[in-house]
Copies of this chain bind each other. A is one copy, B any other.
C-alpha cells in the first residue's frame, strides 16, 4: 500500500477523529478498547506508518542518533559501529553515520550537520577535536557519550582500561622470564597510547626492573609503522627480548622486522599486540594480544546515550571495559 496515507485518512476510514488515531499510535491510555481495535485494524489494512519528520517537528524528538568515528573502514570502529547500531535499533532509534576521515575540521562539520538533523544524541568516538571544541559540541548537542577519549567529570564516557591492558601484557612477558621489554608506542598524541605506556612502566617498576627510556619507540599505528619502529628499536637496543606493541598492526610489522633481522619469534623475540583484530589469529606466528571488546564498547555507548536521552542520568556516567589477554604463539 502506498506511502501517501496520512493520519486523517485513517481517522476518516475508522470513523473517528485524527486525535484518536494519534492516541492509539502513541499507546496513550484513555482510548476505548473497541475503538482502539478498530483503528489498529484500519492502520494495518491501509499500511499506514506515521511520518517521522512530522512527528519530529511536533515533538522535537527524532528517534535518531549520531555516530561519529575517525574511520569507519578501520575494523576497530566498524565493530564498534555494529554495537551502536544494534542497541539503537532495539530501542527504536536510527543512526546517522558520520565519518570524520581523521580530520578534525570534517569531524566538526559532521557534528554540525547532525545538529541540523536534530539528532537526539551523539556517540562520539576517539574525537580528534581539541578540548574547547569538544566542550562546545557537548553544550550544543542534547546528549553526548564520549568513547575512547576522556574529557572531564559530568560527561558520559565509555572507555577501555588501557592501563590495565599495558599491565596485562607486560606482566605476561615478565612471567615468561623477559626483563628487557620494549614498547612500540604508537602515535605520540594518542591518549590510549599514553595510558598503555603507564601500565607498562608501572609494571616494570613494581617488578624492580632497571628500566631504560630508550626502550620506548613511538611509531605510526600501522604495519609499516611497526616495521620501521621495530627495526630501529631492535638495532638500537639489541638486548631487548620482547616487544609490547601499541596494536596488532604494529605487532605484525614487528614480526616482519624481526624476520628480516634474522630473529625468530618467539624463540629470539616475544611479541604482544593489542586489540585482537581478526588478523591477529591468522598471521604466522599467531599473535598474543590484548583483546578489546569492540562490540561492547559500542553497545555500552549506545546504552548510556539512550539512558541519558530517556532521562535516567543516574545510570552509568562512566563505563570502563576491561581488556583480556589472549595467548598465542608470538609470546606463549
The answer to whether A116 and B52 have CB atoms under 8 Å apart is yes
The answer to whether A73 and B75 have CB atoms under 8 Å apart is yes
**Given the complex of chains A and B, what is the CA–CA distance between A95 and B115 in angstroms?**
14
**Given the complex of chains A and B, what is the CA–CA distance between A55 and B64 in angstroms?**
17
- Minimum CB–CB distance for A246 against chain B, Å: 17
The answer to whether B73 and A116 have CB atoms under 8 Å apart is no
The answer to whether A78 and B85 have CB atoms under 8 Å apart is no
The answer to whether A53 and B117 have CB atoms under 8 Å apart is yes
**Given the complex of chains A and B, what is the CA–CA distance between A210 and B28 in angstroms?**
71
**Given the complex of chains A and B, what is the CA–CA distance between A79 and B94 in angstroms?**
21
| Chain B residues in 8 Å Cβ range of A51 | 57, 116, 118
Given that A78-B78, A85-B72, A279-B278 are contacting pairs, would A117 and B64 also be in contact in the complex, using a CB cutoff of 8 Å? yes
- Minimum CB–CB distance for A62 against chain B, Å: 7
The number of chain A residues with a CB under 8 A from chain B is 50
The answer to whether A89 and B99 have CB atoms under 8 Å apart is yes
**Given the complex of chains A and B, what is the CA–CA distance between A112 and B283 in angstroms?**
42
Instruction: Decide yes or no whether A101 CB sits under 8 A from chain B.
Output: yes
Instruction: Decide yes or no whether A189 CB sits under 8 A from chain B.
Output: no
Indicate the member of A3, A57, A73 with the most B CB atoms within 10 Å.
A73
Q: Give chain A's interface residues, CB within 8 Å of chain B.
A: 3, 49-54, 56-57, 62, 64, 67, 71-75, 77-79, 81-82, 85-86, 89, 94-99, 101, 106, 110, 112-118, 140, 223, 252, 278-279, 282-284, 295
| A-B contact list, 20 entries, CB within 8 Å | A49-B116, A50-B116, A51-B118, A53-B57, A53-B117, A67-B97, A72-B82, A73-B78, A73-B81, A78-B78, A81-B97, A86-B99, A89-B99, A94-B98, A94-B114, A97-B97, A223-B282, A252-B282, A279-B279, A282-B282
| A-B interface, 8 closest residue pairs, ranked by CB to CB distance from nearest | A78-B78, A97-B97, A284-B284, A73-B82, A52-B116, A53-B56, A73-B79, A52-B117
Known: A3-B115, A53-B118. 14 other contacts (CB 8 A): A49-B115, A50-B116, A53-B53, A73-B79, A74-B78, A75-B78, A81-B99, A94-B113, A96-B96, A252-B282, A279-B279, A279-B282, A282-B282, A283-B284
